[in-house]
């Protein structure tokens, strides 16, 4: 009996230690961040500029702005949890070739962006980039795009504003779904400080909303995308595009993905002219 009690105590202590470790270290699991020096020079074949935003808490945010002649609008692209704009900037030509500019920010702590991390701050930063863009780009020309973790920023932005469209690639309903798919034994509703409740935010979206997801996604469960889609208001145009062989990072390799994306971007594209983004711009070299 004593041995059994001792074993139970050891298991309880080990479980408590695991919970404590996850609570303290969760940012390292959720945000795979890499810094770039302020003087780092990006190298892309397409024309681009660099933008900076100063935030009230002292954070400094950085984004790349890719440009195309005669643009139909601008894609505000919130990227995934791993890597910086040095990597994610290679996604811009997908939209440039379809006639869209791309404004792509790095979240605080990534690349040249600086600042103390929190979910509240990340949401506020995403809204700040939307306001920065909409100062010169009419909202009916803005497409909000969220890739994986970036869906947790894109969805609230679309909910708080009136962009032309919301596009979500490999999105989740909330981070509980994602965490549970890795290790179900932890009480994530008590431990998670970053919850990204897309399932709540998307209920307030009033623009057309389209989701792309693969059934073989081992990072964000397909079931989470189904859960998110179920919360999209029935009053807005919506669709979930499923790729039976799609994984988390390979949807862009499917010709069908590109065809659907082009069709959506071409549907009702605005002909309203736009100006350039204001000041705080670092010319590219």
Dist CA 158 CA 165 (whole Å) = 8
Residues, the chain: 285
What does the pLDDT read at residue 189? 84
Return the closest-CA partner of residue 129 out of 149, 109, 113. 113
The answer to whether the beta carbons of residues 30 and 149 sit under 8 Å apart is yes
Q: How confident is the model at residue 29 (pLDDT cuts 50, 70, 90)?
A: confident
CB atoms within 10 A of CB 14: 10
pLDDT at 129 over 60: yes
Token readout for 131 is 């306001």
Dist CA 5 CA 130 (whole Å) = 57
Which domains does the chain show, CATH number per domain?
Answer: 31-283 (3.40.50.1820)
pLDDT at 74 over 50: yes
Q: What is the pLDDT of residues 113-126, one digit of tens each?
A: 999 999 999 999 99
What does the pLDDT read at residue 3? 73
Q: How confident is the model at residue 268 (pLDDT cuts 50, 70, 90)?
A: low
pTM over 0.85: yes
Return the closest-CA partner of residue 144 out of 61, 211, 89, 217. 211
């Amino acid at each position: 009996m004593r041995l059994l009690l001792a074993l139970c105590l050891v298991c309880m202590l080990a479980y408590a230690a695991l919970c404590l470790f996850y609570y303290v270290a969760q940012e390292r699991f959720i945000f795979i961040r890499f810094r770039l020096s302020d003087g780092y020079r990006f190298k892309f074949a397409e024309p681009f500029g660099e933008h900076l935003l100063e935030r009230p808490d002292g954070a400094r945010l950085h984004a790349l702005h890719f440009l195309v002649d005669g643009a139909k609008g601008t894609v505000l692209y919130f990227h995934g949890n791993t890597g910086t704009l040095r990597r994610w900037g290679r996604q811009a030509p997908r939209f440039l070739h379809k006639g869209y500019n791309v404004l792509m920010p790095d979240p605080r702590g990534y690349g040249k962006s600086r600042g103390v991390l929190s979910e509240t701050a990340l949401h506020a930063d995403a809204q700040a980039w939307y306001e920065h863009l909409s100062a010169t780009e009419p909202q009916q020309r803005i497409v909000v795009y969220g890739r994986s973790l970036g869906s947790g920023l894109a969805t609230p932005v679309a909910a708080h504003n009136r962009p032309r469209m919301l596009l979500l690639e490999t999105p989740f309903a909330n981070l509980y779904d994602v965490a549970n798919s890795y290790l179900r034994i932890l009480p994530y509703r008590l431990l998670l400080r970053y919850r990204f409740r897309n399932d709540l935010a998307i209920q307030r979206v009033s623009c057309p909303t389209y989701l792309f997801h693969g059934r073989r996604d081992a990072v964000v469960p397909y079931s989470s995308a189904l859960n998110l889609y179920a919360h999209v208001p029935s009053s807005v145009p919506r669709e979930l595009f499923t790729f039976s062989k799609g994984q988390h990072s390979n949807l862009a390799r499917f010709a069908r993905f590109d065809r659907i994306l082009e069709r959506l971007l071409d549907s009702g594209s605005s002909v309203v002219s736009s100006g350039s983004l204001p000041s705080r711009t670092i010319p590219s070299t």
